[in-house]
A and B are shown apart, each in its own frame.
Chain A
């Protein structure tokens, strides 16, 4: 890493993006191509948001069914609701008057985790992939992944894609599953398999299907890799976090729970003065 006197032209290699510079400025693009498509001269106005997102990840146009499936999932995930950990993180930024960027970063950081977050999807995709729509393979798949490598992530404490704190599969997940299957009526799809075998999968897992599990099946049907699924899941859940953070910023901290009497300190050295 020593300083070098000679200038070496280093480039960024990409299959995603190409640019033609303006004649008067090599730092400004005149034309931008995404996977070969002229983004502002051709694609804009023709491709929907979900089609463009699919193109960015897959470098090909989606079929109509794939685009509809992704569009549906984007609506399903857009707002996890204000009780979700990631949205709560964003609202905490809002009530304190933090930067708006920090609200999104907070939502991503918290919503990245093993419990219903991006990492849950990352692993759920791999579990379902390994199982390959064979319900009789599900118990051995769960067993296969029980050995965990040491990594920066905490150890997984539940079967990914399922809710360890759930009682039964909540209605919005069942409604979403039914709707998404209607947009993607492929009998061999992961979604259909999930729909057909939800009860058996939940029985082995020991708890009900979570939204992360549903999303994992969709991402597999979109032929996305686990890491692509992980990232896209986090992106798709951000709109709700942003909206709720802004709302609570306006409402102010006085109208937001502080859990004022909720903290129970077990080793106060001077408890008599509390």
Chain B
């Protein structure tokens, strides 16, 4: 940006997002927060805030189901949840623990790093196969490029227990007929029967369902930021209710040192 352009921004921020008029009202993307925007509901308001888009009731129910089913595991061993539990056991504040845990959820092997890659693959694959590309060749090209297909396979176990419940909700809401889901299911069928033996994971499924609702990759990435909070909250409270420092304490013998031998400075 040129110096002249930069100067125009000093003390001036033009926006359509909203503003607070103290003592009077709040405008939220062109709506009055306390009247018009209130009717959007919590999940609806979040998405309206991200993109300005208003979803239908079935779509909102699907998005909320994704949050409930895909990341709300109150298991303090899972890495992001563990930070929340550590914050509790170390007697830090809930807000600090939750903020750190959600920041960490932007991971590569799970969470938002995995979600955004899965979205990219499913969106690109759906488009490519609609234009005549071969699904198997397309999938294998990604496997070759990234050594895995985003949205498929899973660390620890290849079975993803979330698929059935998510698909059941999508079916109930008649949101299971889109091209992205069809592509994802075809890729799963191919990979399961290939030497890779990989099934779809929840990231792959939620991305396909979201793409079929015309949600963009970046919008869904922002929305999914919340999806682990269901598990993060109770891991903190659980740890604060127990003696301080009691969450999986590490004794010195838990260190497996493989570095340089003893030496003097």
Which residues does A use to contact B, with CB under 8 Å? Answer: 1, 9-21, 26-29, 33, 35-38, 42-43, 46-47, 59, 61, 99, 101-102, 105, 109, 150-152, 164-165, 167, 259, 261-270, 273-274
Does B241 sit at the interface, judged by CB under 8 A?
A: no
Classify the interface of chain B: helix, strand, loop or mixed.
mixed
Whether the pair B112, A46 counts as a contact (CB closer than 8 A) is no
The one of B1, B16, B253 in contact with A21, judged by C-beta atoms closer than 8 angstroms, is B253
The distance in angstroms between the C-alpha atoms of A19 and B251, with both chains bound, is 10
Whether the pair A27, B265 counts as a contact (CB closer than 8 A) is no
A99 partner residues in chain B, CB cutoff 8 A:
93, 95-96
**Chain A: CB-nearest residue to B257:** A18
Whether the pair A265, B15 counts as a contact (CB closer than 8 A) is yes
The one of A18, A36, A102, A265 in contact with B16, judged by C-beta atoms closer than 8 angstroms, is A265
B252 partner residues in chain A, CB cutoff 8 A:
19-21, 26-29
**Chain A: CB-nearest residue to B87:** A101
9 inter-chain pairs at a CB distance below 8 angstroms, sorted by A residue, are A1-B157, A12-B254, A14-B258, A18-B257, A38-B262, A42-B265, A43-B265, A262-B12, A263-B15
Whether the pair A11, B254 counts as a contact (CB closer than 8 A) is yes
| Contact flag A18-B255 (CB < 8 Å), given A101-B96, A105-B100 | yes
The one of A12, A59, A264 in contact with B256, judged by C-beta atoms closer than 8 angstroms, is A12
Distance (Å) between the CB of A144 and the closest chain B CB?
17
| Contact flag A270-B32 (CB < 8 Å), given A152-B221, A263-B13 | yes
The one of B13, B75, B96, B112 in contact with A102, judged by C-beta atoms closer than 8 angstroms, is B96
Which residues does B use to contact A, with CB under 8 Å? Answer: 1, 3, 6, 11-16, 18-19, 21, 24-25, 27, 29-32, 36, 75, 77-78, 92-93, 95-96, 99-100, 103, 106, 112-113, 116-117, 120, 156-157, 217, 221, 249-265
The distance in angstroms between the C-alpha atoms of A131 and B208, with both chains bound, is 40
Whether the pair A264, B14 counts as a contact (CB closer than 8 A) is yes
Whether the pair B16, A165 counts as a contact (CB closer than 8 A) is no
**Chain A: CB-nearest residue to B218:** A154
Distance (Å) between the CB of A68 and the closest chain B CB?
17
**Chain B: CB-nearest residue to A264:** B14
